[in-house]
């Protein structure tokens, strides 16, 4: 079989489409023929940094949709030929290959009405948004939310999920992306390049601040979000915790939530791994019902996977880029 091989940590340009030993299922595992993979920032980051858990040559890629070709021992509910999607373990071999091994517990079946491309698109970004908006943040009796980087994958899915819950959505995005984020459901778009986000939020909320925040940017920005948060508000972050040292006890009374999707694999928790399957299933049901846009903005052949990763690295990609490893479904 062939894969996009990493010989050693470094540049995306060093990826090689080459031969590697065939994939085989161990206990509790499935071998998947990969039809579609979605590109994420963590993919190029891992290519550059590598992992002490990898044996080189290695192939990575966290999102895949494809067909089961081998079922390991002690696996229930799957058979050869099933259409499936999986968010994979970063410490193991991944989606940038013709075939790969996945954890059956973390794998979800794809509904007939959902394509391989759509299924791949909602995994890392969509499940991160789902975990933050639906499973972490409590929207009961809440009215407003600030979602950072609404034009990106996580932000775009979060906007849609938040609107489905009836929240008024504020989001940050460059002016060129304002029409895009509003088409996803954002009520107010703030250009962080030219506007003071804190001032705008306080102006829009009559000085109260927002009830909820999803920060996808940085620890420094999450710290600034504390000034944008209403009393007893909640902040979920995926890119670094806020500094709470200047928050006086019994004043703001915030709730802080870490969102670390991939940590489910290394947690040792069966329930956490099953939750990955559950979230993927719930998101694909929304696609099936037509209530969630998978936000696919570009579909590339496998030869252009490195070029696609470079686009993601440039951080100016709307929605999701899909790469078809096998283009015959």
Residue 91 CB neighbour total at 10 angstroms: 15
234 conformational bin, left if phi > 0, alpha if psi -120 to 50, beta if neither: beta
User: Mind listing the pLDDT tens digit for each residue in 90-113?
Assistant: 999 999 999 999 999 999 999 999
> What mean pLDDT is reported for the chain?
97
User: Mind listing the pLDDT tens digit for each residue in 173-190?
Assistant: 999 999 999 999 999 999
Cα–Cα distance list, 35 to 68, 105, 119 (Å): 11, 20, 11
> What band does 315 get if pLDDT is binned at 50, 70 and 90?
confident
pLDDT of residue 329: 62
pLDDT of residue 298: 97
User: Mind listing the pLDDT tens digit for each residue in 203-247?
Assistant: 999 999 999 999 999 999 999 999 999 999 999 999 999 999 999
- 5, 328, 293: which is closest to 153 by C-alpha? 293
User: Residue 316 above 80 pLDDT?
Assistant: no
Distance CA(80)–CA(12), nearest Å, equals 33
User: Residue 327 above 80 pLDDT?
Assistant: no
* Mean pLDDT along residues 134-139: 96
pTM, 2 dp: 0.96
User: Mind listing the pLDDT tens digit for each residue in 34-88?
Assistant: 999 999 999 999 999 999 999 999 999 999 999 999 999 999 999 999 999 999 9
pLDDT of residue 317: 86
* Mean pLDDT along residues 108-129: 98
Class of domain 125-258: alpha beta
The two structure tokens encoding residue 34: 């990969």
Distance CA(188)–CA(102), nearest Å, equals 40
Q: Write down how long the chain is.
A: 329
Can you give the residue ranges of every domain in the chain? 2-122+262-324, 125-258
Quote the CATH superfamily of domain 2-122+262-324.
Medium-chain alcohol dehydrogenases, catalytic domain (3.90.180.10)
């Amino acid at each position: 079989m062939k894969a996009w091989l990493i010989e050693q940590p470094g540049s995306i340009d060093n990826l090689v489409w080459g031969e590697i030993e065939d994939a085989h299922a161990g206990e509790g595992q499935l071998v998947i023929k990969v039809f579609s993979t979605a590109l994420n920032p963590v993919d190029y980051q891992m290519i550059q940094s590598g992992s002490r858990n990898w044996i080189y040559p290695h192939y990575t890629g966290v999102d895949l949709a494809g067909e089961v070709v081998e079922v390991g021992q002690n696996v229930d509910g799957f058979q050869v030929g099933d259409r499936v999607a999986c968010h994979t373990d970063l410490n193991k071999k991944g989606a940038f290959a013709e075939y790969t091994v996945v954890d059956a517990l973390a794998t979800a079946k794809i509904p007939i009405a959902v394509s391989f491309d759509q299924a791949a698109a909602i995994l890392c970004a969509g499940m991160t948004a789902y975990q933050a908006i639906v499973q972490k943040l409590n929207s009961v009796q809440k009215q407003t939310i600030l979602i950072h980087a609404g034009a990106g994958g996580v932000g775009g899915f979060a906007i849609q999920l938040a609107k489905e819950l009836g929240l008024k959505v504020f989001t940050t995005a460059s002016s060129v992306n304002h029409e895009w984020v509003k088409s996803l459901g954002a009520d107010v778009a703030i250009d962080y390049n030219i506007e003071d986000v804190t001032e705008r939020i306080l102006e829009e909320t009559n000085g109260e601040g927002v009830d909820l925040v999803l920060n996808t940017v940085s620890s420094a920005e999450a710290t600034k979000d504390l000034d944008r948060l209403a009393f007893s508000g909640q902040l979920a972050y995926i890119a670094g915790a806020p500094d709470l040292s200047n928050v006086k006890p019994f004043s703001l009374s915030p709730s802080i939530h870490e969102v670390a999707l991939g940590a489910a694999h290394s947690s040792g928790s069966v329930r956490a791994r099953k939750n990955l399957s559950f979230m993927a299933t719930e998101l694909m049901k929304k696609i099936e019902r037509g209530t969630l846009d998978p936000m696919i903005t570009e579909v590339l052949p496998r030869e252009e996977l490195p070029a696609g990763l470079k686009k993601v690295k440039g951080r100016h990609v709307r929605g999701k880029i899909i790469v078809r490893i096998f283009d015959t479904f």
